Amino acid sequence: MRGGSMRDGAGQGVAGAAGAMEGHSVRRVVVVGAGLAGLGAVQRLCGTGSGSVRLLEAAARAGGRVCTRPFASGLAEMGAHWIHGPSPGNPVFCLATHYGLLGPEAAREENQQAEVGGHPPLPSITYGSSGRVLSPQAVSEARDLFDTLLASARDFLGVEEPPVPSVGEYVRAEITRRVPALGGGKEDARRLQLAVLAACLKLECCISGTHSMDLVALQPFGEYISLPGLDCTFPGGYSSLPERILSALPEGTVLLNKGVRTIQWQGSFREEGDNARDFPVRVECEDGDAFLADHVIVTVPLGFLKEHHQDFFQPPLPERKVEAIRRLGFGTNNKIFLEFEQPFWEPQQQLITVVWEDESPLEKPSTDLEANWFKKLIGFVVLQPPEQYGHVLCGFIAGKESEYMETLSDSEVLSTMTHVLRTLTGNLLLPAPRSMLRSRWHSAPYTRGSYSYVAVGSSGDDIDILAQPLPEDPKDPRPLQLLFAGEATHRTFYSTTHGALLSGWREAERLNQLFETPLSSEVQK
């Protein structure tokens, strides 16, 4: 696979991080994907000035699953919402603080030290499907039980033979054991407790980004680490972080609307008119442009890899990596923003949760998506303060029901949401929301879902296999041709922005270490 005519890119001399250093001895790096992993990688590579870097992004904007849009009188986070665990161990928190992007609340010591295990306590109200507000005591009793069961599901890490394969099966078995005692033995109270537990499982589906907790592996569940700190948001939008990183990069480093079609590796590619050097990797874009490189950091989402890995890499990835891609989970969690003329909630309420009172975690959920998709909605976060956002609720919905919602029109979603809220509040005259905006991460062609989880049949080892650079042979004379970053490659922080950022830094550091050694004669020939 020698030769090949370059219309653009490397053939023109790579600008960017070390454009001035461009020459035969400079390593060329291409990064694919401008989410936090890709931007983090480029940030670290540019910092050293030891190679030339290009970042290729398919979309018309950087940020990936960090995506802030204007909505109502404020902003809507279509993707990442909170910094999970904003404390000194969280690089997103540290970077955002360094750039001055967070509000004064987030900076408070008490905020950073709070241990909430990923479930920050917010003042909430729970509506039942019979159109009434449910007793806070009954709700919190069931939630406390669920939290206890979920915490115990984390104790199977390292256990050779867990009792059941999935978190869902484990939790249900534990609930079944406790059924006689639920609700103090009273039938109505027991039914309500079961309905709240069913709602807790749906919330956990949103957190894990999965259709069902029956798909989430029990044994490695405890490997995910929750950092201390009360989750916080970005007053100027989450996108202020990628934008800030982007603005500090040398001009010309990032190319938007540059979808990559294939990555050829283990090759020997030369630029037209330059026989002095060949490159092992050739990155071909959808528009026909091509970039030659010594190293490519691939940060495309696991959802994209699941769908395209076969054609995306030539030669195909080794079987071990293909199996890891297949086994790891990547599900959908979407948001539905609703703007109201006037709030129907009290000013102090920050969370509105929903319980379908006839449901039980011990019964099979309905598979009739058309009739029941909206029952997967867990409830709403109230965007605050109203002076900044307007009267806006942000609903969350995961799984196949969420994917089905993506196929509906805006007006269908809006009218269903209106119907749901009228049912829950018991107010059949509740005015319809004034406007609506929702995410559609499953349909997004360069994402194909929301974030990763460790699925039944996979383990943290699969995450490490996914992260392993290629070629696998450490003695290969042309090492680190393909490197892999992105949230799904972080063993303990997968599914988060800090996991994504750290993974990008990790791969940049891997290259920076290599760059400290001189180019081998093999590469220079």
Beta strand pairing call for 254-255 and 51-56: parallel
Q: Does 66 bind ligand 6YU (CB under 6 A)?
A: yes
Q: In this structure, how many other beta carbons lie within 10 angstroms of the beta carbon of residue 408?
A: 15
Query: Which residue, 484 or 523, has its beta carbon nearer to ligand 6YU?
Result: 484
Q: Which of residues 266-305 bind ligand 6YU (CB under 6 A)?
A: 299-301, 304
- DSSP state letters, 374-393: GGG--EEEEPS-HHHH-EEE
By beta-carbon proximity to ligand 6YU, the closer residue of 26 and 260 is 260
Show contacts with ligand 6YU in window 180-209 (CB under 6 A). Answer: 207-208
Selected from 404, 441, 484, 515, the binder of ligand 6YU by CB under 6 A is: 441
Q: Tell whether residue 59 is a contact of ligand 6YU (CB under 6 A).
A: yes
Distance of closest approach, residue 298 Cβ to ligand 6YU, in angstroms: 9
- Which residue in 440, 494, 481 sits closest to 301, CA to CA? 494
Paired strand residues for 27: 51
Asked whether position 333 contacts ligand 6YU by CB under 6 A, the answer is yes
Report if residue 166 touches ligand 6YU, rule: CB under 6 A.
no
Regarding 383 and contact with ligand 6YU (CB under 6 A), the answer is no
Q: From the CB of 377, what's the least distance to ligand 6YU, in Å?
A: 14
Residue 172 Cα distances to 149, 167, 176, 311, 485, angstroms: 9, 9, 6, 40, 35
Bridge partners of 230, per DSSP, are: none
30 binds ligand 6YU (CB under 6 A): no
Binder among 31, 46, 260, 297 for ligand 6YU (CB under 6 A): 260
The residue (of 190 and 308) whose beta carbon lies closer to ligand 6YU is 308
Distances (CA, A) of 410 to 279, 381, 416, 419, 440: 48, 20, 10, 14, 11
**CB-based contacts of 509, cutoff 8 Å, min separation 6:** 44
Nearer residue to ligand 6YU within complex by CB, 55 or 138: 55
Residue 44 binds ligand 6YU (CB under 6 A): no
Element (H or E) spanning 52, and its range?
A: strand 51-56
Helix, strand, or coil here: 184? helix
Least distance to ligand 6YU, CB of residue 81, Å: 4
Distance in Å, CB of 11 to ligand 6YU, minimum: 19
Place of tokens 């979309």: 59
Identify the residue among 36, 106, 255, 467 touching ligand 6YU (CB under 6 A). Answer: 36
Pairwise CA distance, residues 139 & 423, whole Å:
19
Stretch that binds ligand 6YU, among 3-11, 64-72, 338-346, 471-479 (CB under 6 A): 64-72
Tokens representing residue 485 in the block:
């970053």
Q: Is 49 left (phi over 0), alpha (psi -120 to 50) or beta?
A: left
Interface residues with ligand 6YU (CB under 6 A) are 32-38, 56-59, 64-66, 79-82, 84, 118, 207-208, 221, 224, 259-260, 299-301, 304, 333, 335, 439, 441, 446-447, 450-451, 486-487, 495-497, 500
